[in-house]
A = this chain, B = another copy of it.
Amino acid sequence: MKKLINAPGNYVDEMLDGLVAAHPYLARAGEEGRVIRRASAPRRGKVGIVSGGGSGHLPLFTGYVAEGMLDACAIGNVFEGPTVGSCVEAIQAADGGAGVLRLYGNYGGDRMNFDMAGEIAEADGIESTTVLGIDDVASAAPEEGAKRRGVAGILYAYKAAGAMADRGASLAEVTATAADAVARTRTIGVALSPCLIPGSGAPSFTLGENEIEMGMGIHGEPGIWRAPLRPADEVADEMLDRLTADAPLSGARQVSVLVNSLGATPLEELYILYRRIAQRLAADGLEVVMPLVGHYATSMEMAGVSVSLCVVDGAFMELLAAPTSCPFWRGAA
């Protein structure tokens, strides 16, 4: 595994410099430069939405700072959560006077720092709420759903809450929309090969020459099983079975599906998987609306995919279909 980088210690800062250079509607902010915010000032009266987490998951998290989605992100080193200071600065950057939603994945360190940041912001007069992404069905049993990790499915919450905030909804309403999006969404991943943390000599985990791991997390957290590589359709079937067994599908007629590359897995393979998933869902009487196929939440050059299922109805679909300037959101209604 080779990385086209400079000094590993500069990896995150150089990456963020490139990101804002390529996307002038973004700006770096914060004492450590670890906040990505919209370059324009927050719209007065609009609820702000912040997210954040470790680096190494582009376009997550910073790529979703855009009109119609997030207002700011606090970003840490590779696979390490942002500091409390950066979290506070992200909340401040997102503050338009109507409160700020903290919307991020359920990881212990991130929670601690974002919670502390929320208290500091409150002392500054900025009201804020929290919704956690908990979409990874492989990370805890259904009855312990609140313990699940957040992975690619948080995208649906970004999009829906972002659209709600743009409509001028209150903090309570935007928070409820994000929580609703999380409740509608389930994700599972499968890993084919690891990634390399810059500066570390060894891969993030090891898999045998012909081995895959079902349910592995995006930082290499242990999954459900390891076994030899299987045909794509078998893998898709198992992933879909695990998602449909868990998702709130009772009475559902429409779902959105996100087939996400964890990094190295190419679009060709994503479409092969999507084909099977769409066939299966159609056979189950479910209509797929706004399929998302591509690189949405990665672990650098890790090979593998995640599949997310989001149960959609008319009102929720309007939020997904609302306009956004985000170049990484490629949904079409």
Residues on A lying within 8 angstroms of B by beta carbon are: 1-7, 11, 14-19, 21-23, 25, 55-56, 58-59, 63, 190, 192-193, 210, 212, 229, 231-233, 235, 263-275, 278, 291, 293-295, 298, 300-301, 303, 305, 325, 327-328, 330, 332
Contact = CB atoms under 8 A, between A and B. Distances in A.
Contacts of A14: 232, 271-272, 275
Contacts of A300: 266, 268
A293 B58 CA distance: 12
Contact of A11 (B6, B268, B332): B268
B4 A192 contact: yes
Contacts of A19: 271
Nearest to A234: B6
| Copies of this chain | 2
Residue from A1, A17, A190, A269 whose CB has the most chain B CB atoms within 10 Å: A269
Contact of A263 (B15, B17, B264): B264
Contacts of A271: 14-19, 21-22, 58
Given A58-B267, A300-B266, A301-B264, A22 B272 contact: no
A229 B198 CA distance: 14
Nearest to A300: B266
A272 B233 contact: no
B232 A269 contact: no
B275 A11 contact: no
Residue from A11, A232, A264 whose CB has the most chain B CB atoms within 10 Å: A264
15 contacts: A2-B192, A3-B269, A4-B192, A4-B269, A11-B268, A11-B272, A14-B275, A15-B275, A17-B275, A21-B275, A23-B332, A58-B268, A294-B295, A295-B295, A327-B330
A1 B5 CA distance: 22
A272 B58 contact: no
B4 A235 contact: yes
A21 B274 CA distance: 8
A278 B14 CA distance: 12
Given A268-B56, A303-B264, A275 B18 contact: yes
